[in-house]
Amino acid sequence: MTIVRTGDLLDNFNLKLIAGKDGIHREITTSDIARPGIQITGFFKYYPEERLQLIGKTEMAYFLELSEKLQRERFERLCTDVTPGIVVTRDMEIPTIMIEAANQSGVPILHSPRKTTRVISRLTNYLEAKFAPSTAIHGVLVDIYGIGVLITGQSGVGKSETALELVKRGHRLVADDSVEIRQEDYDSLIGNSPPLIEHLLEIRGLGIINVMTLFGAGSVRNFKKISFIIDLEIWDQKKQYDRLGLDEEYMKVMDVSIPKAVIPVRPGRNLAVIIEVAAMNFRLKRMGVNAAEEFSERLTSMIDQGKEK
């Protein structure tokens, strides 16, 4: 599981460490962010102390209305042993009482010049991505006309060679051999390549090639949302393959069901062109144009006309 520490926020955002430097190695365990307004009023019964705490203009205005005694008491209670940090937004001046309490307890205070809503949004997106469920799938991920297509199939079926042909046709490689997938939302899967093999393709008989070096920076992507899965399998004479495209298959990856198509492989079939057309057809379906359904309606209409005669 990914470990995120408070110090990582300093490296990734426009934040300044004001106090509590001894605690920058504290671990952040949840993507939820709390605004401790009700705790500053004195109600700590349901205080989510394990969350990153964010103090905006409203919380600070109320805090400054309190007596020095109450200010110290309330802020010391905010600074627990498990609180990963406190972020103060809008470039507001931080009271000395806050700085003293943070230094004493070792809870980092981070200062941001941004608006509160903007800080919450960016921090939440960052933490959600870090804590997203993840897995790895053997396959190739290619961006085809803006559609993230995950090509799967048994080893040696021709996934990498097909990806190479797709890159030559102007599409972009995301990952080969192993695709790391994280579920950033309840219906969204993002795929990327492991750092070790990023931008690399393995072609049997040729070896490892660097796609970006050979075809330029426009031939690769670092990550892509997976929208469509194509499974390549050796042609089975005994198996009946879909010839109309009316039936839709899905493959479940973690909690997300992704549309899937099975393409049989045998000599003479141009897989790159077939996959390219499959991606375009998938895109048309999302736009409301379904050739298979149109054909079925035409056929039904002709049958009905024949019965009337």
DSSP the chain: ---EEHHHHHHHSS-EEEE-GGGTTPEE--S-EE-THHHHTT--TT--TTSEEEE-HHHHHHHHHS-HHHHHHHHHHHS-SS---EEE-TTPPPPHHHHHHHHHHT--EEE--S-HHHHHHHHHHHHHHHHS-EEEEESEEEEETTEEEEEEESTTSSHHHHHHHHHHTT-EEEESSEEEEEEEETTEEEEE--GGGTTEEEETTTEEEEHHHHH-GGGB-SEEE--EEEEEEE--TTSPPPSS--S-EEEEETTEEEEEEEEEE-TT--HHHHHHHHHHHHHHHHTT--HHHHHHHHHHHHHHHHHH-
255 and 162 assigned to the same domain: yes
Least confident of 43-47, 79-83, 171-175, 249-253: 249-253
Closest alpha carbon to 225 in 136, 149, 169? 149
Task: Indicate whether 224 belongs to any domain.
Answer: yes
Instruction: From the candidates 45, 238, 243, 266, give the one annotated as an active-site residue.
Output: 243
122 and 195 assigned to the same domain: no
To which residue do tokens 């470990």 refer? 3
pLDDT tens digits, one per residue of 68-123: 999 999 999 999 999 999 999 999 999 999 999 999 999 999 999 999 999 999 99
Task: Indicate whether 303 belongs to any domain.
Answer: no
Task: Indicate whether 180 belongs to any domain.
Answer: yes
Q: Give the per-residue pLDDT at 205.
A: 85
Whether 177 sits among the annotated catalytic residues: the reply is yes
- Under a CB-based contact definition with an 8 Å cutoff, are residues 135 and 111 in contact? no
144 and 261 assigned to the same domain: yes
80 and 92 assigned to the same domain: yes
Domain ends where: 131, 166, 187? 131
Task: Indicate whether 190 belongs to any domain.
Answer: yes
Question: What is the pLDDT confidence band of residue 235, given thresholds at 50, 70 and 90?
Answer: confident
Instruction: From the candidates 74, 111, 159, 199, give the one annotated as an active-site residue.
Output: 159
127 and 143 assigned to the same domain: no
Q: The whole model's pTM is what?
A: 0.74
58 and 168 assigned to the same domain: no
189 and 274 assigned to the same domain: yes
Amino acid letter for position 252:
K
Task: Indicate whether 302 belongs to any domain.
Answer: no
Domain ends where: 131, 156, 191? 131
102 and 54 assigned to the same domain: yes
Task: Indicate whether 157 belongs to any domain.
Answer: yes
Q: What is the residue-averaged pLDDT of the chain?
A: 90
Domain ends where: 131, 165, 189? 131
Whether 199 sits among the annotated catalytic residues: the reply is no
Which residues fall within 8 angstroms of residue 92, CB to CB, at 6 or more apart?
57, 60
State which residues form the domain around 66.
Answer: 4-131
How many domains are there within the chain?
A: 2
Task: Indicate whether 280 belongs to any domain.
Answer: yes
83 and 191 assigned to the same domain: no
pLDDT tens digits, one per residue of 182-194: 998 778 899 999 9
21 and 166 assigned to the same domain: no
Check which CATH number belongs to the domain holding 12 and give it: 3.40.1390.20
Check which CATH number belongs to the domain holding 192 and give it: 3.40.50.300
Whether 45 sits among the annotated catalytic residues: the reply is no
Q: Give the per-residue pLDDT at 156.
A: 84
Binding site members: 153-160, 202
Task: Indicate whether 115 belongs to any domain.
Answer: yes
Rounded to 10 degrees, the C-alpha dihedral 211/217/219/220 comes to 80
Q: Give the per-residue pLDDT at 126.
A: 92
22 and 70 assigned to the same domain: yes
152 and 291 assigned to the same domain: yes
Alpha-carbon span 156 to 178, nearest angstrom: 14
Long-range contacts of 303-308 (CB under 8 A, 24+ apart): none
Instruction: From the candidates 16, 57, 118, 138, give the one annotated as an active-site residue.
Output: 138
Q: Which sign does the torsion angle of CA 286, 292, 293, 298 carry?
A: positive
Binding site members for Mg(2+): 160, 202
